[in-house]
Amino acid sequence: MGRSWKERVFIALLGIAAASGLTMLILILVKATDVFLPADTKFGIVFDAGSSHTSLFVYQWPANKEKDTGVVSQALTCQIEGPGIASYTSDPTQAGESLKSCLEEALALIPQTQHQETPTFLGATAGMRLLSRKNSSQARDILAAVSQTLSNSPVDFWGAKILAGQDEGAFGWITINYVLGMLLKYSSGQWILPEERTLVGALDLGGASTQISFVPQGPILDQSTQATFRLYGANYSIYTHSYLCFGRDQVLIRLLAELAQVRLNSSVALVRHPCYHSGYQATLPLAPLHESPCVHTTDSLNLTQNLTVEGIGNPGECVAALRSLFNFSSCKDQEDCAFNGVYQPPVHGQFYAFSNFYYTFDFLNLTSRQPLHIVNDTVWKFCQKPWKLVEASYPGQERWLRDYCASGMYILVLLLEGYKFSEETWPSIQFQKQAGGVDIGWTLGYMLNLTGMIPAEALTQWRAQSYSIWMAGVVFAVLTLVAILAAAAVQLFWTQD
């Protein structure tokens, strides 16, 4: 016997209710799947605005952190064309414009949906420290220009500032120990704090400053040289100090200015430079040497003069001239003093030397941990080579060729007489540009520290709360629809023709 029309309508209404409920269930499951997907990869951008050039680094890390710190890796590096931002005093807007090409490359790598949540920071180092000391308004104008460029880009701009020398040293220490697996290690399917580890020291030589950072054997007696931080659930306390005006470029400028015995009544002054190769000669303007705050200028000096510089290739005199740039007498007979009266505990442990330490020794083929006597002999012999032979041996490198002798000698004086390394501790120094495929410098250490300030749970909690509210609404809507359909069906079933 066939069903009545009331039965058919009743069954149809129940079917609609069931289909609606099933559809809502599917939506719930889809949303739940979305909520419980593996954590997204996060990105961060750091500009390293050094004294001679600016570099951009993109870092990435899983949203789920380990002991409140991100497991960060390097995703991209980009060298920005042109000089350091401190050079744009006459046109600060160009400092901001110079960043755009590398920033576009970074944004092409990062998914567009994540641009607005990508923390971006510009840290200016010793070049801008010097400019700020010389002309603070010019430094402010340049920082304002780069800030405007980055503020107008689709990123989460965290600011542009001049990085303190101590921070630069501490972040460099974090970087090298992190990439060597000293702060965190993956073992048996999980990230752990290494049980047996040897924390290494960091030696950084920039264009305008140099930094030394390490964990000493004993207590740090001068609190101004102590940096403390917490990473991956562990606390660290290191010695770190930065020497402004002792970077490679500034030392070369200071050395030439020191050697320039200018004859005020002569239109040309002759400088015999012991660190330049014999046979080298050039005429240089005097004024640019004295634009640096690292060079002391007297009012009686005639800055309109030119210098005729002749190389004599004398390593012994070169070392003596470099020593004159240090104040060693202020630390005489003190074991816990480096130079210029600065406190430093005795060096301890293994060290990684990077930036211009590496670039200079790489040019001289001295990055294979050669004994000190071989390093010393190699630098001396290079300094004694005639300029014509040096030019012929390194075609296409004329821009920096004249300075490698002085740079090599300066590194030896700085490490041995400044930082107090010895023939016994020299083998503890490794000259490296990278470790684990990552560029060694302060930027990764900064980003690791930054991830500790970005709550890993914030996005997850927001999604969970949104999901709970959404799901409650869905359940309410399903129950309401079912109730309405059921009521309609009952009403229809009992209503008479």
Per residue in 270-314, pLDDT (tens digit) is 899 999 999 999 998 888 888 889 998 766 666 778 889 999 999
Task: Please tell me the pTM assigned to this model.
Answer: 0.80
By annotation, the residues acting in catalysis are 168
Element containing residue 143 per DSSP (H, E): helix 136-151
Per residue in 50-63, pLDDT (tens digit) is 998 999 999 998 87
Distance of CA 411 to the CA centre of its chain: 22
pLDDT of residue 497: 46
Q: How far apart are CA 353 and CA 201, in angstroms?
A: 9
Three-point CA angle 273, 277, 280, nearest 5°: 80
E runs forming strands in 73-117: 73-79
Q: Is residue 140 part of a domain?
A: no
pLDDT of residue 386: 98
Q: Is residue 407 part of a domain?
A: no
Mean pLDDT estimate for the chain? 84
* Residue 276 Cα distances to 149, 286, 402, angstroms: 42, 17, 6
91's tokens: 């046109």
Q: How far apart are CA 147 and CA 160, in angstroms?
A: 6
Helix axes 372-383, 404-412, angle to 10 degrees: 150
Three-point CA angle 238, 240, 242, nearest 5°: 170
Q: For residue 29, count CB atoms less than 10 angstroms from its CB and return exposed for 0-12, middle for 13-18, buried for 19 or more.
A: exposed
Task: Compute the average pLDDT of residues 19-25.
Answer: 54
Q: Is residue 24 part of a domain?
A: yes
CB 445 within 8 A of CB 172: yes
Query: Domain containing 24: what range?
Result: 5-37+470-494
Q: Is residue 341 part of a domain?
A: no
Query: With the C-alpha atoms ordered 6, 12, 18, 23, is the resulting torsion angle positive or negative?
Result: negative
Q: Is residue 25 part of a domain?
A: yes
208's tokens: 């305008």
Q: Is residue 248 part of a domain?
A: no
Q: How far apart are CA 251 and CA 484, in angstroms?
A: 85
Q: Is residue 9 part of a domain?
A: yes
Q: Which residues pair with 185 in a beta bridge?
A: 192
How many structural domains are present in the chain? 1
pLDDT of residue 101: 96
> Residue type at 360?
T
- b/e sequence 145-164, b meaning 16+ C-beta within 10 Å: bbbebbeebebebbebebbe
138's tokens: 């010019």
Q: Is residue 153 part of a domain?
A: no
Least confident of 71-75, 94-98, 270-274: 71-75
